[in-house]
Each structure stands twice: as C-alpha cells, then as structure tokens.
C-alpha cells in the first residue's frame, strides 16, 4: 500500500504523541452530530495536525495506530472496520473501565467517519453506547489537516 510507505511520521507520533508539534485546538465547526439524540451529551472539538489530508485520512483508518494515541485504550481484537477493546475513562469525578466493541463507518469521498461502539463497565456493570464522529478538512494550502470531532 502507498500509505504504508509514508507511515513513519505517524508511527513516531503514535509511539510518542508528545513528540509531534502541538495541535491547534478550536471549537468544532463541523460535524455537528446529525442526530443530536435526546438525552445524549455531545462534546465537540477540533485540532490541526501538520500532515496533508490524505495521510491523516489513511492513518485514521488504521485502528491499531489510532488506539495507540488514546490514553487508557487497549485493542483486544480487530478485523477490518470492527474492533473489540477496553478503555479506562475519567469524566469529572466519575471513572469507568469499559470493555466492548465498535464498528467504523467511513465515507472516503467526504473524509467523514463514525465509530459506533457499546460496552460494559467491569465494576458497576453499567452499559453504555456512543459514537465518535470525525471529519477532516485541508488547511494551510494542504500542508495541514483539521480534524473536527464529536463525541456523543
């Protein structure tokens, strides 16, 4: 694959995220959650990475590499666009350790994707499901990419 030949910069970032130039955060302008489901909380944000859109799009489709960039995440099993894993999260005073599964739905033409997942906390047995939606757009004459993310 052509994307593999260009992977070293992303592998360096995935191995040590603090080695990459700082991302530039900005409140997300897109994508707003299409469904804005009643009773669900949505968190929107965005950041800029110093790589062209096509490189970032290829990286975001490599689920083991993306998982390596997420503190508290562990990939247990993956195949194509589906994964099983664990994630330890802390949101304010609450913390949980979920095990579950997710499926990635990608729109290559629009550079837009949704990761739909569900899991269960190991201690409280609480079940939860949610989506992580992201959209990529080119910035700085194609030298940088903005990643707009919605967690729902």
Domain of residue 102, CATH code: 3.30.530.20
Distance (Å, whole) CA 118 – CA 129: 4
What average pLDDT score do residues 120-139 get? Answer: 92
Comparing 4-18, 37-51, 108-122, the range with the smallest average pLDDT is 4-18
Which residues are within 8 A (CB) of 93 and not within 5 positions of it... i.e. 6 or more apart?
Answer: none
**pLDDT higher for 75 or 2?**
75
Confidence of residue 81 (pLDDT cuts 50, 70, 90): confident
Distance (Å, whole) CA 77 – CA 85: 7
Per the structure, the count of domains in the chain is 1
CB 117 within 8 Å of CB 129: yes
Look at residue 59 and tell me whether its pLDDT is greater than 90.
Answer: yes
Task: Check residue 36 and give its pLDDT.
Answer: 60
Q: Identify the domain containing residue 116 by its residue range.
A: 2-151
Q: What percent of the chain has a predicted confidence (pLDDT) above 90?
A: 52
Rounded to 5°, the CA angle 5-137-65 comes to 40
Task: Check residue 38 and give its pLDDT.
Answer: 74
């Amino acid at each position: 694959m052509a994307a593999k030949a260009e992977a070293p910069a992303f592998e360096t970032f995935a191995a040590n995220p603090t080695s990459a130039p700082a991302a530039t955060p900005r409140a997300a302008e897109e994508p707003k959650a299409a469904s804005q489901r009643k009773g669900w909380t949505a968190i929107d944000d965005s950041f800029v990475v110093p790589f062209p859109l096509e490189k970032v799009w290829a990286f975001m489709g490599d689920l083991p590499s993306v998982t390596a960039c997420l503190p508290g995440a562990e990939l247990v099993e993956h195949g194509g666009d589906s994964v099983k894993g664990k994630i330890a999260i802390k949101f304010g005073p609450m913390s949980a350790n979920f095990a579950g599964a997710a499926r990635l739905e990608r729109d290559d033409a629009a550079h837009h994707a949704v990761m739909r997942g569900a899991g269960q906390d190991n201690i409280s047995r609480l079940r939860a499901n949610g989506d992580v939606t992201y959209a990529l757009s080119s910035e700085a004459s194609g030298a940088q990419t903005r990643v707009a993310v919605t967690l729902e």
